[in-house]
Every structure is written in structure tokens, then in C-alpha cells.
Amino acid sequence: MELNILLIEDDAIDAAMVERLLGNCYLKGRLSHNPKIIHTEYFQKGLDILEQNKRVDVVILDLHLPDGAGGELVRQLSKQYSEVPIVVLTGLDADDTLGVELVREGAEDYVCKDSVSESSLHRSIRYAIERHSLANQVKRQAQELKESNEELESFTYIASHDLRAPLVNIRGFSAELKSSVDSVLPALQKALPILAGDDKRVVEKELQKRIPSALAFIESSAEKMDRLIEAILYYSRLGRRKLKFEQVDSNELVKLCLNALEHQIKTTQTTIELGSLPVIVADRLSVEQVFGNLLDNALKYLDPGRAGRINIGCSEDRLQTTFWIKDNGRGMAQDDQHKVFEIFRRAGNVDKIPGDGIGMPNARAIIKRHNGSIWFESALGKGTSFYFTIPKNLSKDAGTS
Amino acid sequence: MNIRAKTLDKDTKILLVEDDQGHAELVKMNLERSGIENEIMHFENGRQAVDFLLGKQSADDTKYLMILDINMPGMNGLQVLDRIKSNQMTKSIPIIVLTTASDEKEIEYCYDLGCNVFITKPLDYSSFSQAMQDLGSFLKTAKIQGVRKPGYDQDNFVVYY
């Protein structure tokens, strides 16, 4: 394949050298075609050429040009034309710091004018093109992933929104129907004595039993569906909320959560052990939700057979804070454990305990958005320990959307 | 036009713009239940309602009041609101937005376009039914004080359930 090379170099001798080396690459069979070299002496002209000429496979860039110099050129070029790899041509024998800096600005490689050879130039160019195309592929895939995630989120939002409209009707008309039945019943009651035996039985059975029972099923199912949709909506809204990273006193936050649960703590006579927790940088509302969910669950799933004990603590290292909430509750069987973070799924031994199956998926989504992780250890009949980490590199005032 | 200043005249026609037949029926039933006897005309989409109001050759004397849904296929409620409120002939028609949306931005936007009252449709039917009957009483007596929102020249209401 023919290579299109844009050479931006104001020194005629250096330019001629590069052209000669590249020509030799072809003559000696390193390149299958004679490379097509577009040469210019000015940075701006180089940009113009890239603008007009979509097909440039690689840019060879000198850093001392009449209209600009230094790493800034690399930065500008790679920002504006991210799809084209850049190989920098330096005058001095570049030390490693300069090289690293150039690569950071967006160059794929650099070659020294003093020591460049046909083979080193050829290798630089080939690798630059290859690396750059891989990097671009990764970038493209990341972009696609982001888009499909956003699509999924907006799909969830729209779907749950649109699912509600027909539910309003189902609930509305079943309520209307129930009130219609209720209002004709007294009149029918009066007429019952004059109906013949079979008719009487049918009217009694249908109007007094079957219809009300059917309506009750419709209403309770529609109501349940409503709750599920509400939960999905809540979940998707949460994913769309912009996080605000700020200093959060986790000790204070946990106390707030415990206050909200005071009633349950008292009625279950649960002992709370709260270690000292640090100030962290995180999204306040998120962390509050995670602690709230975990504490709520710990209390909800206590073992009625023994006094409840919940331990809240944390450990820290250089990179992250790991929080835990350990309970001596009923725990989960091995087979149930995979359901914990799945939406709407719940462990098998909690049938009688109300819950939507949304708290844990939520908590995981929140922690993920903090680049942390959440996991648990559980043994049936012994208790469950939840752990989650908050990285220490979340910068204040920043956030992810 | 100022909703709180006068009660709903008997001959005011209520224009109900709602793409969902069922919702429209439920709104009607509950308004009637609250004692509203005014004629209620139902339009299944925004285009029909706009054509009805703006398509008139001469200004007619009939008074109208519009109850408007936002999420509709084709011309949506926001577009209807904009068309009605930006036309000299029709801009004094009070518009009550009645929709499932409860997004703050959407509410603000509706007011920017000139909506007079914004009601979020409750999903639970007993609240829905109550909300519609409240709206009926509100329209009949209209003695409820409106909250004047700064920056708006009309009296605006937001009603949440």
C-alpha cells in the first residue's frame, strides 16, 4: 500500500535527508510502494494540507519551524487531527524526558536527525501507524460503548415513562368498574327475589364474587407493576444524575442514616458498633444512599432468633477507603448470592420481608460511578458482611455525568 | 385572562387535548363528577386542537379553556402551547397543562411558553380522581389564591399530587 507522508520541516537539508531515506526504503524493498511525500516548511501550511487532504498516513514533524516551535505543535496537531499519527523529528539527541513529554502531547514516536537511519525511520513510521490505529480503535470502541450505554439509559427512561400511561388506564377503569358494580349491587339485591333459581345463582356468583375478585387482582397487579416501573425510573434517573464530589464526613453521614433507622434499631434491640470513620471525597447523596441501603438491609434481614449486632467500620490505604457493614443476621445461601446485585431479584429466605430488589443494584451502580467496588461475604444462619471502596483520587468539584 | 379573577362561565368550552383515549375519558368523568357541566371537546392530537382554534376565520365570542397533555405524537403539547400563546387571537385562553412529566425544567419551560396552571398526573388512580375533581372545584369556584411567580406576568400555579 502506498504511504502518504506529510513532512513539515523548514530545513532543506534535513528535508532532503528524510526524503532520501524514505526513497531508499522503497528501493531496498522495505516499502512495497514509493512513498508519496508532501513537503511543507510551515506548520500552518501543514494544517491546511491535512484539512484538504484527508489521506495522510503519518506526519513527520520538525519542532523548530518559522511559525511555531516545541511540544505545543504536537499538542495542536494531535488535538485537531487525532486520526493521524505523528513522528517528531528532533535536532538534538533527544533525552528521554523530552521523548516522554512529546508522547504525552500526542506524538507516537520521535527520531533524531543526527542518528536517524533508513531502518530506524522506517520502523518508527510503521510502528507509529500501527500503534495509532490500535489506539484509535480503542477510542472508537470506548465511544461506542458510551453511546450504547446512554442509549440504554434513555431507553429505560422512555420505556418506563411510556409504560405508565396505559397503567393509569388499567388502574383507573378497574376502579371505575368497581364503583359501578358497587352502585348497581343494591338495586340488584332488591331484584334478586324475583329472579328464577338459575339466574339468581349466576347474578349472585358473578356480581358478588367473580367480578370483585377479578377487579381486585387487576388492581393489585397493576399496582405492583406501577411500583416496579417506579423503581426502574428511579434507577435510571439515578444513573443520569450528575455526581458532585465534595468532602463528606462519613462518620456524621452514618449517624444520620442510623438516626433515620432509630425506630427499627430500637424495636429489634440491635447493638450498633460504630468505629471512627474518616472524611472522604465523594458524592454526598450517593454515599448516604449506599450506607442507608446497606444498614436498612442489615436491620431488615436480622435473625429473629438472636440479638442483632451490626458493626460499621473501615480500613484505609494509600489508594482507597474500604467501608464495611457486618451483621449477624440470617445470611444468604450460596445459591442465592448471585441475585444480590441483580435488579428485582431477591434471596429466597426473605419472602415475607417487603422489598423491591432495587437497593443493592442501586448501591452497586453508585459505587461504580465512583470507580469503587462493592462485594459481600455471607453464610446462611451466620450473617452478611458488605464491603465497598471509595477511591482517594476523586477530585473535589469534579463529577461524572 | 386571569384564572383566579373569575369563575368558569357555564358557556365556556373546555378543550381537552389528550392523545390517550382512556386518560381523556377518565379526566372527563372526574370533572363531571365534581359538578362541571361545561361542554368538553376532546382532541386526540395537538394539530387538531390548533387547527380548531387558529383555523377560525373571524374571532368568535365563545370562551375556551384548554386542558393540555405534553407527550403526544406529532405536534406535542409544548408546540401547542407555543402556538396558542404566541397568537394574539388565542393567547388569552387559559391553558392547564396536565401531564405525567414532573421535570422541573419542563415545568419552567411550560411557564415560559405561557401555561397558566401545571398539574402532574398522579399515577395512583384515587389521587388522579381526586386531582381531577379538585381541578373541577378549582375551575368552578376559583377562589384559590395563585402564587405569583417572579418574572411572569400571569398568575401561575403548579399543582403536585
Rounded to an integer, the average pLDDT of A338-364 is 76
Rounded to 5 degrees, φ, ψ at A374 are -140, 140
∠ Cα A89 A95 A96 (to 5°): 100
User: Looking at beta carbons, which residues of chain B come within 8 Å of A169?
Assistant: 20, 22-23, 26
pLDDT of residue A93: 60
Among A154, A157, A167, A168, pick the best mutation site for testing chain B contact (most B Cβ within 10 A). Answer: A168
Q: Which residue has the higher pLDDT, A322 or B142?
A: A322
∠ Cα B141 B144 B147 (to 5°): 145
∠ Cα B77 B21 B35 (to 5°): 90
User: Looking at beta carbons, which residues of chain B come within 8 Å of A177?
Assistant: none
Residues of A with CB under 8 A from a CB of B: 161, 164-169, 171-173, 175-176, 223, 226, 230
Rounded to an integer, the average pLDDT of A85-100 is 77
Length of chain B counted residue by residue: 161
Nearest CA in chain A to B20: A165
Out of A55-69, A261-275, B121-135, least confident range: B121-135
Measured between CB atoms, does B161 come within 8 Å of chain A? no
Number of cross-chain residue pairs from A and B with Cβ atoms under 8 Å apart:
44
Q: Which grid coordinates belong to A199?
A: 339466574
Q: Which grid coordinates belong to A166?
A: 396505559
Mean per-residue pLDDT over chain A, rounded: 87
Q: How confident is the model at residue A306 (pLDDT cuts 50, 70, 90)?
A: confident
Rounded to an integer, the average pLDDT of B8-20 is 87
Q: Which grid coordinates belong to A3?
A: 504511504
Measured between CB atoms, does B29 come within 8 Å of chain A? yes
Please enumerate in sequence order all residues whose Cβ is within 8 A of that of A292, keeping only pairs 6 or more positions apart, or say none: A257, A260
Instruction: Say what the ipTM of the complex is.
Output: 0.71
List, in sequence order, every residue forming a beta bridge with A283; answer none if it has no partner. Answer: A245
B34/chain A closest Cα distance in angstroms = 15
pLDDT of residue B3: 42
Burial of A200 (0-12, 13-18, 19+ CB in 10 A): middle
Per-residue pLDDT tens digits for B19-75: 989 999 999 999 888 888 889 999 999 999 999 988 876 666 788 889 999 888 889
Map A44-59 to HEC letters.
HHHHHHHHHCCCCCEE
Please enumerate in sequence order all residues whose Cβ is within 8 A of that of B108, keeping only pairs 6 or more positions apart, or say none: none
User: Looking at beta carbons, which residues of chain B come within 8 Å of A175?
Assistant: 125-126, 129
Instruction: Dihedral sign for Cα A130, A131, A137, A140, please.
Output: negative
Place of cell 415545568: B107
∠ Cα A279 A281 A283 (to 5°): 115
Strand A58-62 to A4-8 pairing: parallel
Cα B65 off chain centre by? 6
Out of A60-64, B92-96, B109-113, B134-138, least confident range: B134-138
Per-residue pLDDT tens digits for B97-146: 988 766 778 888 888 888 888 888 877 788 888 888 888 887 776 533 33
